[in-house]
Structure 1
């Protein structure tokens, strides 16, 4: 049986938090040349994940488009982090 959309969103949030390291210091994020501001991208993604977690806690039900958009955003941010050598190419966000 397929999971409900709130369960799928919660699982996606956990997967993203597990795959993307949010604990970088500013010095680690802002060293060398950048291809996209990793600091701002991580802040944006963290805010999106926090917002969805809060919405799930109050009973909001995401639709499949919401889940797809969050997954797509996370993949794009992960790719930017790869280009800035902050994550390894071997881990992928679902």
Structure 2
């Protein structure tokens, strides 16, 4: 039976998973649609996630460890953004 990861490892694993599953640095996701057919702005959603990812990468590298609530909120934000991107057809 494997042990649970500590908060630092869990944060880094979540960041890695977000970078794999969400198109954070893809150019075509940062363009607004000309026909305004978006449901929620994918550009703004991805910018929000990108800023959180950058913050937590920097915080962990400086030795600042998130608590359970911060990690839960970060995960919930990423899950909600992914749901919005699926609605817009950007992510499957």
| Aligned-CA RMSD value | 1.6
Unaligned runs of 5+ in 1: 89-94
Q: Which runs of 4+ in 1 moved over 3 A?
A: 26-29
Equivalence map 1:24-39=2 (5 Å)? 24-25=26-27, 29-31=31-33, 32=35, 33-39=37-43
Give distance in 2, aligned partners of 1:27 and 1:4. 33
Contact 1:45/1:74, CA 8 A, preserved across alignment: yes
2:20 to 18, 21, 34: 18
Contact 1:6/1:56, CA 8 A, preserved across alignment: yes
Equivalence map 1:1-94=2 (5 Å)? 1-25=3-27, 29-31=31-33, 32=35, 33-88=37-92
When normalised by structure 2's length, the TM-score is 0.87
The farther-off stretch of 78-87 and 28-37 is 28-37
Count the aligned residue pairs: 88
SS across alignment from 1:60: coil
Unaligned runs of 5+ in 2: none
Give distance in 2, aligned partners of 1:50 and 1:72. 17
Give CA deviations for 1:39-83 in whole Å, capped at 9, x if unaligned.
011011000000000000000011111111111000100011011
